[in-house]
Amino acid sequence: MDKVIFNDKEYLSFQASGNASRFAISFAKEFCTGIGFDIGCNKKEWAYPNSILIDKCILDEWDAMKLPDFMVDYIFSSHCLEHLPSWVNALDYWTERIKKGGILFLYLPHRSQDYWLPFNCRKHIHYFDQEIITKYFENSGKYKDIYASGIDLNNSFIVVAEKL
């Protein structure tokens, strides 16, 4: 197995290769149907299938805090939220764009991976675990049926929630 070493810890090398969404898309297909956004996919080939791509690397017109002005059935986002200045403001804003009964599907790097912590990876502003993201959804009062996965081999996790 190919590995990388950071701070004397071994990690599987695919964690440093990008395209994290590939580990979550098969699960997202169980929830994300209809018309939706993939926010922060970085490259077209890494995007959630048949979604509307929201990333300045692809099209300068839209970004995480400037979405098209219509409601969608889902928002899928993989390894994006940790880069945004205010993840709470972003999730609040994204919620406004999801239809009742729609899905917010997040795939996020877990704080257990040392390299992804903001003081080691300066591209990351925040770090997460399932508990803090689940609490956001619960406390917002705008979601039901909130599910969080454990940590996967990519040192990441999924949280999926249905909008009330």
Residue 148 phi, psi (nearest 5): -125, 140
CATH class of 20-163: alpha beta
**pTM of the prediction?**
0.94
**Mean pLDDT estimate for the chain:** 94
CA dist 144 and 6 (Å) reads: 38
Length of the chain: 164
Closest CA to 135 of 126, 125, 146, 124: 146
pLDDT tens track for 81-113: 999 999 999 999 999 999 999 999 999 999 998
How many other CB atoms sit within 10 Å of the CB of residue 140? 16
CA dist 94 and 60 (Å) reads: 18
